[in-house]
């Protein structure tokens, strides 16, 4: 989800078990679940790898994000207190630090943390679970994109999201979230 693995990176059950200090059975079950969620692929020969997404698949996942994320943000708005907004601003500052260091994994991690922190306030667990499945599928590809783009400033749309939250402006919040999601993913499909 955070882009710690590159697109197409092969994985082994033995290697995963060793990395996480578990036996083959829990590693196999975790891989099975991640394959079912589209976060990993399993070839007919049994090779497990992170997905390499086509432009069409990226567009489909971007459309799902563009539908779900503005709705989750709007549902979170009535519960967005000043402490939450301050927390989001702090996460955004950490995101900016990752951009300055050109840390693509840190960038993806803090970007998702920003969005997830807001969406948790929506109190819509089924919608959030669907969105997390999309994020799982996009993680390696997002890492590759941000590594390639070499941004030198954080996305402006997070500041727009924070401003809309402070103002209690639902239409502006929906627009800022939708724009944030579609702007980043537009680069992935090109």
CATH number for the domain that contains residue 39? 1.10.10.10
Answer yes or no: is 137 within a domain.
yes
Q: DSSP class of residue 77?
A: G
What is the pLDDT, as a whole number, of residue 176?
96
Residue 35 shares a structural domain with residue 91: no
Answer yes or no: is 1 within a domain.
no
- How confident is residue 186, by pLDDT bands cut at 50, 70 and 90? low
CATH value at residue 169: 1.20.120.530
Is pLDDT above 70 for 187? Answer: no
Residue 151 shares a structural domain with residue 179: yes
Residue 136 shares a structural domain with residue 171: yes
Answer yes or no: is 140 within a domain.
yes
Answer yes or no: is 156 within a domain.
yes
What is the pLDDT, as a whole number, of residue 151?
64
Residue 162 shares a structural domain with residue 131: yes
Answer yes or no: is 2 within a domain.
no
Answer yes or no: is 4 within a domain.
no
What is the pLDDT, as a whole number, of residue 159?
94
- How confident is residue 149, by pLDDT bands cut at 50, 70 and 90? low
- Summarised one tens digit per residue, pLDDT across range 98-136 is 988 888 889 889 999 999 999 999 999 999 999 999 998
- How confident is residue 147, by pLDDT bands cut at 50, 70 and 90? low
Residue 67 shares a structural domain with residue 41: no
Burial 70-99 (b: 16+ CB within 10 A, else e): bbbbebbbeebeeebbeebeebbebbbebb
Residue 45 shares a structural domain with residue 59: no
What is the pLDDT, as a whole number, of residue 188?
59
Residue 106 shares a structural domain with residue 174: yes
Residue 62 shares a structural domain with residue 38: no
State the total domains in the chain: 2
Mean pLDDT to the nearest integer, 163-180: 97
The CA distance from 129 to 135, in Å, is 10
**Residue with more model confidence, 51 or 150:** 51
Sign of CA dihedral 40, 108, 98, 151: positive
Answer yes or no: is 14 within a domain.
yes
What is the pLDDT, as a whole number, of residue 100?
87
Question: Which structural domain, as residue segments, surrounds residue 21?
Answer: 10-49
What is the pLDDT, as a whole number, of residue 15?
87
> Across all residues in the chain, what is the average pLDDT?
89
What is the pLDDT, as a whole number, of residue 71?
98
Residue 161 shares a structural domain with residue 121: yes
Residue 94 shares a structural domain with residue 148: yes
The CA distance from 125 to 113, in Å, is 16
CB atoms within 10 A of CB 47: 11
Residue 42 shares a structural domain with residue 64: no
Residue 18 shares a structural domain with residue 92: no
């Amino acid at each position: 989800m955070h882009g710690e693995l590159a697109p197409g990176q092969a994985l082994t059950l033995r290697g995963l078990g060793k990395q996480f200090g578990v036996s083959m059975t829990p590693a196999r079950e975790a891989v099975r679940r991640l394959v079912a969620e589209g976060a990993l692929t399993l070839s007919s020969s049994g090779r497990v790898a992170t997905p390499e997404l086509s432009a069409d698949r990226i567009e489909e996942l971007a459309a799902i994000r563009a539908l779900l994320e503005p709705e989750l943000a709007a549902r979170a708005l009535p519960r967005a207190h000043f402490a939450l907004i301050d927390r989001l601003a702090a996460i955004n500052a950490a995101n900016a630090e990752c951009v300055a260091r050109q840390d693509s994994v840190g960038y993806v991690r803090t970007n998702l943390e920003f969005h997830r922190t807001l969406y948790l306030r929506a109190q819509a667990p089924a919608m959030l679970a669907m969105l997390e499945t999309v994020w799982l599928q996009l993680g390696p590809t997002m890492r590759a994109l941000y590594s390639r783009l070499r941004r030198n400033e954080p996305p402006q749309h997070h500041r727009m999201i924070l401003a809309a939250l402070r103002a209690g402006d639902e239409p502006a919040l929906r627009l800022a979230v939708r724009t944030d999601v579609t702007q980043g993913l537009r680069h992935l499909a090109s």
